[in-house]
Structures are given as C-alpha cells and as structure tokens.
Amino acid sequence: MPRKPGRATTSPATPNERFDIRDVAKRAGVSVATVSRTVNKVPTVNALLAARVNEAIRDLDYFPNTQARALVSGRSRLLGLLVPDITNPFFPELIKRFERAAVEQGYELLIGSTDDDSDLQHVLRRMIERNVDGVAVMTFGAEDPVLDELSHRHVPMVFVDVSKTDFPQDVLLVNYGQGMLEALQHLAALGHRDIGFISGPLKEHSALIRREAFLASMRQSGCTAREDLVLEGDHQLEGGMYGMTSLLRLPHPPTAVLCSNDMTAIGALRTLQQRGFRVPDDMSLVGFDDIHLSEFVHPPLTTVRMSQTEIAQSAVRALLSRIEQTTPRSAPQFFPISTRLIIRETTAPPALTRRPRF
C-alpha cells in the first residue's frame, strides 16, 4: 500500500509506550516547531500540516507536556477559581461548569476554597506560584484581599457581586432584583401579603444586596415588608431551620417565606415538616440559586435560578478577553447575569384556616 506523502512510517502506539514531541514530528513528517505551534493553537500554522500533526497526536495517544508548553508560550494555560464554601452545593455545580468552559478553551483549572482569611492567603500564594493566567473570584463580595495580592502582579481577574462603584476589574453583575421581583409577584398573585425573608450573613455583600433586592421588590409588588418577618440567617441549613423556627413563634407568622439561598430554604422546609406544617398548604416557600438538589427535595422547591453555566461561561469569556488582548485596556467590562423564577411545588395560595398552630 503506497505511503502518504510527507509522512514517516512508524508502528502504531503500544500500551505503556511514551512519546515526546519529536516522535509526533517524525510521524507527521513535519518539524518540531510545527508540532509546537499546532499544540499551542498558533493560528498561522498551515491547516493541512496542523491536520497531520493532530492525526499523529491521536495515533500516538500523545499528551503535551504542559510545563514545557508554559516555558515556550509564557503562559501556564491555568485559570484560578476562588469559591467561598465548597460544602455549599451551589459551588461544586459552578466548578463543574467552569471547568467545562475552561477546557473547551484549552485551559485547566486550579480551585481554591476560601473559608477564612488564612485560607485565602494560602490559596492566593499557590496560584501565584503556579503562574495562573487569570483568576475568577466567585466569593460574592470579598474582593479586597484578592485585589491587594494580585492587582500589582497584573493578573487578569473577574469578580462577582462587587461592592464598589469604581471597581478596576471586570465584574459579573447578577440581576438579583429580576428574580426577587418575579418571586414576590408570584406570591402576591397567589394572595400572600405577610411574606417573610431569611437572609444570609449581612456581613457578606452578596447577602446584603439580596436582602435589599427583597425589600425593593416587596415595594414594587405592592406589599409591605414587616420588620419582624425579615431575619438574618447564615446561608446554611441550620440558619434556615433556626430562622423558620423564629418566624413560627411570632403571634402573626408569615404565610410565605422567601429565602436568600436554597440551602436556607431546605433547612426551613425541614423545620416546617418537623412541626407538622404542610408545604405549600400551610406555608409557601421559595429559595434562591436553583441548586440541583432543590428539584429533588419533597416537595420540589420553587426557587430563583441563578445559572451556574451562565456565570462560568461569562467568567471564562471575561478572563480570556483580558489574557489574549493585544493592546492594553484599562476600563472594566461588565457582564450581566440573569435570574428567573422556577415554579415547582412549594408555593400555593394561603390557607390560614388550615394552618396548625405552633
């Protein structure tokens, strides 16, 4: 059988056999430099030569040496991702989608969970040592320590829920008001007027703006927010349980409760069920985030969706825009993140006469 022009004859790869870039070049019949440019996705490589290189890579089951590539290109092809609480199901779901978006663009992911300041400093140091090309800070408002550590190193960054108006980095702007308003209009249309709210810890900027979005949406929905129905939680299951217990002890408890996140709502749901309340017959409940678990609790949770896919894709797009820019750009970019109500089975018209007493 005639040999293809320009290609060297090499036996197929066998298990446990290791190849380097020279083997790929020999098999493809091209120079080592052409293989390097193809692997690093240099756009000027001839398309036919690139196709031969990629075929040789598949034939040999070759994996490029990422450290060598970083030395040649000056880039690590690593993106850092900072999240505040790896135990909250919202963040593993976000990490999964972020990794998918990064890999599609030829980047790997370095993850850091920052439960406190000491963790944050350790994580930032690790990212600096690994020479990450950019960092997505998904800590929802805790931006100052990261800025201080990375900005003078000129590391591209993107943040979410920034608390400052004159912020110098790219920002994902979550439209909390849109989702809160839809949730409250839904409850008001069902006939609810005494609507409670369990926030996250108000020392966190994201919890504060969710609370403000709730209060503004109550006014827009024609409802009056009773001060005794607006409680501070901790964005954890226990905070939802404690908050709902406090609301049920009131002389005039709410007929519906909106929670700052789904973990809070699931904790609140547990307390209601333990106390003999039927959801939604005796109390309506709405969460926020739409974590995967919210669809599988009983009954399935009505919630406001904040798409992890949209956040991840927007963050990666923002970082690559900075990393790959050919001319300096100082003005920050803003990437809107939409929210929308997902109606499931925890909301219904109030039925005060059927509600058991606490």
Q: What is the pLDDT along the chain (358 residues), one digit of tens a residue?
A: 444 444 444 455 555 466 777 888 899 999 888 887 887 777 788 889 989 999 988 888 877 655 555 545 556 789 999 998 888 899 999 999 999 999 888 888 999 887 655 577 788 888 888 889 999 998 876 667 777 778 778 888 999 887 666 678 889 999 999 999 999 999 999 999 999 999 999 988 889 999 999 999 999 988 999 999 999 999 999 999 999 999 999 999 999 999 999 999 999 999 999 999 999 999 999 999 999 999 999 999 999 999 999 999 999 999 999 888 766 666 888 999 999 999 999 999 998 644 444 4
Yes or no: say if 45 and 38 are a contact pair by the CB < 8 Å rule.
yes
162 token code pair: 């920034």
Q: In this predicted structure, what is the pLDDT of residue 69?
A: 54
pLDDT of 291 reads: 95
pLDDT score for 68: 53
User: Which domains does the chain show, CATH number per domain?
Assistant: 21-72 (1.10.260.40), 76-174+308-338 (3.40.50.2300), 176-305+342-354 (3.40.50.2300)
Using the Cα atoms of residue 229, residue 230, residue 231 and residue 233 in order, give the sign of their dihedral: positive
C-alpha pair distances (Å), 78 with each of 75, 103, 142, 145, 190: 8, 10, 22, 21, 49
Give the Cα separation of 83 and 137 in Å (integer): 7
CA geometry: angle 58, 101, 317, nearest 5 deg: 120
Instruction: For residue 13, count CB atoms less than 10 angstroms from its CB and return exposed for 0-12, middle for 13-18, buried for 19 or more.
Output: middle
At residue 353, the pLDDT reads 42
The Cα–Cα gap between 226 and 67 comes to 59
Using the Cα atoms of residue 248, residue 253, residue 255 and residue 259 in order, give the sign of their dihedral. negative
pLDDT at 4: 47
Q: What is the DSSP string of 285-330?
A: EEEEE--GGGGTSSSPPEEEEE-HHHHHHHHHHHHHHHHT-SS---
CA 173/CA 90 separation, integer angstroms: 17
